[in-house]
């Protein structure tokens, strides 16, 4: 087996989804990248930009720019921590929650098209393996 092809397929799948998301999402100031940020924020009570950077494996400059864009558009708020002024908490707004509903619908529609004939058990197996591999790959972050 040519193991390098796995990375090629994962990368191509990601890029194609980003392109499709950019085309399908019609929300103001939302694109395929910051849509993922918004979904991540919606899944947590509040997060820091560093957590987004770490969990989504995105560089901090891009996260900072997109956090500013999302806040200006009214999808998120940033609040300094009362005890540690170096920390800023990012929270989702009601407008952001509504946007997440639309984003999830678009993502579901795209995945339904890609996985249309794939048995549920196979999808579950792939999900479990990808989650395991992703967790193992986090050790690469520590080598910086």
Q: Would you say 89 and 47 are in contact if contact means Cβ atoms under 8 Å apart?
A: yes
Number of domains in the chain: 1
The CATH number given to whatever domain includes residue 127 is 1.10.10.10
Q: What percent of the chain has pLDDT over 70?
A: 99
Q: Does pTM top 0.85 for this prediction?
A: yes
Give the per-residue pLDDT at 107. Answer: 96
Distant-in-sequence, close-in-space partners of 82: CB < 8 Å, separation ≥ 6: none
Give the per-residue pLDDT at 76. Answer: 97
Domain range for residue 49? 4-143
CA distance 64 to 87: 13
On the CB side of 23, CA atoms within 13 Å amount to 7
Q: Would you say 55 and 138 are in contact if contact means Cβ atoms under 8 Å apart?
A: no
Distant-in-sequence, close-in-space partners of 80: CB < 8 Å, separation ≥ 6: 87, 88, 89
Tell me the pLDDT tens digit for each residue of 46-90: 899 899 998 888 899 999 999 999 999 999 999 998 898 888 999
Left if phi > 0, otherwise alpha if psi is -120 to 50, otherwise beta: which for 78? beta
Which alpha helices (DSSP H) does 43-119 contain, by range? 49-56, 60-72, 94-114
pLDDT over 70 at 143, yes or no: no
Which alpha helices (DSSP H) does the chain contain, by range? 4-24, 32-42, 49-56, 60-72, 94-114, 120-137
């Amino acid at each position: 087996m040519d193991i390098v092809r796995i990375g090629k397929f994962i990368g191509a799948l990601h890029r194609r989804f980003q392109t499709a998301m950019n085309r399908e999402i019609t929300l103001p100031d939302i694109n395929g990248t910051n849509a993922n940020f918004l979904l991540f924020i919606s899944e947590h009570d509040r997060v820091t930009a560093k957590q987004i950077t770490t969990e989504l494996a995105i560089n901090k400059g891009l996260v900072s720019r997109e956090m500013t864009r999302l806040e200006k558009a009214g999808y998120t708020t940033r609040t300094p921590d009362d005890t540690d002024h170096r920390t800023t908490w990012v929270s989702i707004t009601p407008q952001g929650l509504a946007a997440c509903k639309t984003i999830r619908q678009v993502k579901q529609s795209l995945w339904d098209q890609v996985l249309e004939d794939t048995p549920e058990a196979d999808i579950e197996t792939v999900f479990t393996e990808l989650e395991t591999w992703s967790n193992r790959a986090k050790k690469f972050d520590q080598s910086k």
